[in-house]
Amino acid sequence: MLSSGPSFKMVCLLATFQIYWSDTTGSAIRRANYDGSQPEVFLDSLDGLMFPEGVAVDWLARNIYWTDSGKRTIEVANLDTKQKKILFDEQIKNPRDIALHPSERYWHFPD
């Protein structure tokens, strides 16, 4: 089962045959293989997540970006080390989603 709640957004990483999704009810970002096997928590409330919603993967830099509407932040973590950083936490009202175009070095989030 890919979600523990009714609300989630998903993104696929073709290079590793994995999917990542936000689990808003579980305050987590989860991942699994494409076929749904080996599901696991990537980051959760113990890592400081409150209400992660939109997720996007930069396959070139191997980072995952997400919006956290509970904390009103946009954050990033490395897919290999899970080292994370808050990118924006000021003047953001209601971050819900994020989109990336890594090869063009472009990203967008509606607020």
Question: Per the structure, how many domains does the chain have?
Answer: 1
Question: Considering the entire predicted model, what is its pTM?
Answer: 0.83
Short-list 46, 50, 43, 52, CA closest to 84: 43
Question: Tell me, what CATH number does 38's domain have?
Answer: 2.120.10.30
Domain that holds residue 98: 8-108
Contact 64, 20 (CB under 8 A): yes
Query: CA triplet 32, 110, 67: central angle to 5 degrees?
Result: 40
Summarize pLDDT for 24-44 with one digit per residue, the tens. 889 999 999 988 999 999 999
Summarize pLDDT for 89-111 with one digit per residue, the tens. 988 888 888 888 777 676 666 66
How many CB atoms are located within 10 Å of the residue 106 CB? 9
* Residue 1 within a domain: no
* Residue 3 within a domain: no
* Residue 54 within a domain: yes
**For residue 64, what are the β-bridge partners?**
57, 77
* Residue 67 within a domain: yes
* Residue 2 within a domain: no
Summarize pLDDT for 42-88 with one digit per residue, the tens. 999 999 999 999 999 988 899 999 999 999 999 999 999 999 999 98
